Amino acid sequence: MSTNLKAYRAAILHSLADPAVVGVEASYEYFEDGLLLVEDGQVVQLGHAADLLPKHKAVEVVEYRNALITPGFIDTHIHYPQTGMIASYGEQLLDWLNTYTFPTEQQFADKAHASDVAGIFLKELLRNGTTTALVFGSVHKQSVDAFFESAQALNLRMIAGKVLMDRNAPDYLTDTPESGYADSKELIERWHGKGRLHYAVTPRFAPTSTPEQLALAGKLYREYPGLYMHTHLSENRKEIEWVKELFPERKGYLDVYDHYQLIGARSVFAHGVHLCDEECKRLAETGSAVAFCPTSNLFLGSGLLDLQALEQHGVRVGLGTDVGAGTSFSQLQSLSEAYKVMQLQGKKLDPFKSLYLATLGGANALYLDDKIGNFESGKDADFVVLDYQATPLIAYRMQQAKTLAEKLFALTILGDDRAVRETFAAGQSVHRRD
Ligand code: GUN
Ligand code: ZN
């Protein structure tokens, strides 16, 4: 028997499919006393400990009590340069960008600063159980080198890109259509497909790119297999009005991206809070995804996303934190806010749908569901050990809980980084709380 085989024993839960499609009961698999077998960074098998242990008598078993193992969380929209400006007071999107964001991102011209922040950022993601993220860099190509170097050292599955921005931003933060294209291409050649890293062509949003830059971004997105396209869409009402002024010949905001061939498989649009039916339909038919960022949408006063409308149109949806407009790195906290966003619209968010959004749904939005998102054999062994006794209150609440749904729901509402006992990436422990 291979010496690399290792087993993790605890309660184990993972998603199998979207509850909106197959119903809640068929959407997950749960092992009260489960065993996850891992070898060479991949999942070998998941099952009941009582069934698997007799077949693997010599295997090393790591056992967790009062714990729940789930797949690693997937954050489908976040900005690493904004780590240091999280929780900046009082503005809505456009003023917030000018007041806080642009001056903060200027500092990433310095590679050493970028490396420092990349390290802090990745540590924070792992402390919160997030093992894969779709990440904005800054406009500087060295910001992306710094990020990928740090992610590679931890063998993480990460997606990132250099921001493209050639107008309506300070001079110190702008590129040109040609330099943005050339710098992105250089980064793609250096990083895309290296280990578990992927590149995303990253125009910030329609207002900060000229038509020439969007056209070149659309060309680049189609030049290499497996590239992502990552941007913002319909987040804030003033932003939407501005896009109408800048692109009067287009039908609407999404149509700008559509016109420049920036939509399709592996294109991810953060927010999409104010979309019409026609735009939802277009996102669905092109296989594009929306990143639902509840803490950010509440914090910037952007609005309430109608998750069910996107679902009914068949749009791929992942969960995003959108730090630094988002107020937490924790997907558990994001789910707590997502639940409240739905409540404010008279709607619900089932806890198993929450689990799906933070794991397999995110993987599906990113076209990575053949590699991550649940514990099917052969997938990356990216997983989290959640603590049912993370705080005195959580421990006491769990004593009252009678069902798995109740426990899972309370964990998503009350949990945060304290609930993450250990995080594994490709079978290696990359964060241990205690
Ligand atoms: N739209 C354009 N840039 C940004 C950004 O940095 N954060 C958010 N939330 N929205 C944006
Ligand atoms: Zn964002």
pLDDT tens profile 123-174? 999 999 999 999 999 999 999 999 999 999 999 999 999 999 999 999 999 9
105 lines ligand 1 (CB under 6 A): no
Arithmetic mean of pLDDT, 314-343: 98
Ligand 1 pocket test, pick from 75, 88, 93 with the greatest ligand atom count within 8 Å of Cβ, gives 93
pLDDT at 86: 98
| Best CA proximity match to 419, nearest among 87, 70, 8 | 70
164 lines ligand 1 (CB under 6 A): no
Q: Which two tokens stand for residue 197?
A: 């890293």
79 lines ligand 1 (CB under 6 A): yes
Residue 369 has pLDDT above 90, yes or no: yes
Residue reference for tokens 């790591």: 62
Which residue CA neighbors atom 11 of ligand 1 most closely? 232
For residue 325, how far is its CA from the centre of ligand 2 (angstroms)? 7
Cα 107 to Cα 114: distance, rounded to the nearest angstrom: 8
Residues 6+ apart with CB under 8 A from 118: 80, 146, 147, 149, 150, 151
Residue 315 has pLDDT above 50, yes or no: yes
Q: Lowest-pLDDT range, 1-10, 16-25, 211-220, 374-383? A: 1-10
Where helices occur in 107-207 by DSSP H, the ranges are: 111-127, 141-153, 177-191
pLDDT at 352: 98
Q: Please state whether the predicted TM-score (pTM) of the whole model is above 0.95.
A: yes
User: For the chain, which residues make up each domain, given as ranges?
Assistant: 6-72+373-432, 73-329
Residues 6+ apart with CB under 8 A from 204: 136, 163, 164, 165, 169, 231, 232
Render pLDDT for 386-406 as a digit per residue (tens, 0 to 9).
999 999 999 999 999 999 999
Ligand 1 pocket test, pick from 86, 88, 97, 100 with the greatest ligand atom count within 8 Å of Cβ, gives 97
- Residue 37's DSSP bridge partners are 7, 45
Cα 288 to Cα 378: distance, rounded to the nearest angstrom: 26
pLDDT at 1: 46
**For 285, phi and psi rounded to 5 degrees?**
-70, -20
Rounded to the nearest integer, the mean pLDDT of the chain is 98
For residue 104, how far is its CA from the centre of ligand 2 (angstroms)? 14
Residues lying with their CB under 5 A of ligand 2, a single-atom ion? 270, 322
CA 300 to chain centre: 19
274 lines ligand 1 (CB under 6 A): no
For residue 233, how far is its CA from the centre of ligand 2 (angstroms)? 9
Cβ atoms 136, 81 nearer than 8 A: yes
Asked if CATH classification 2.30.40.10 holds for the domain at 6-72+373-432, the reply, yes or no, is: yes
pLDDT at 3: 66
DSSP state of 321: -
For residue 390, how far is its CA from the centre of ligand 2 (angstroms)? 30
Q: What is the CATH number of domain 73-329?
A: 3.20.20.140
For residue 297, how far is its CA from the centre of ligand 1 (angstroms)? 11
Q: Which secondary-structure segment (H or E) carries 233?
A: strand 228-233
Cα 281 to Cα 273: distance, rounded to the nearest angstrom: 15
For residue 137, how far is its CA from the centre of ligand 2 (angstroms)? 11
DSSP state of 100: I
**Which ligand has the minimum distance to the alpha carbon of residue 291?**
2
269: left (phi over 0), alpha (psi -120 to 50) or beta: beta
Residue 428 has pLDDT above 90, yes or no: yes
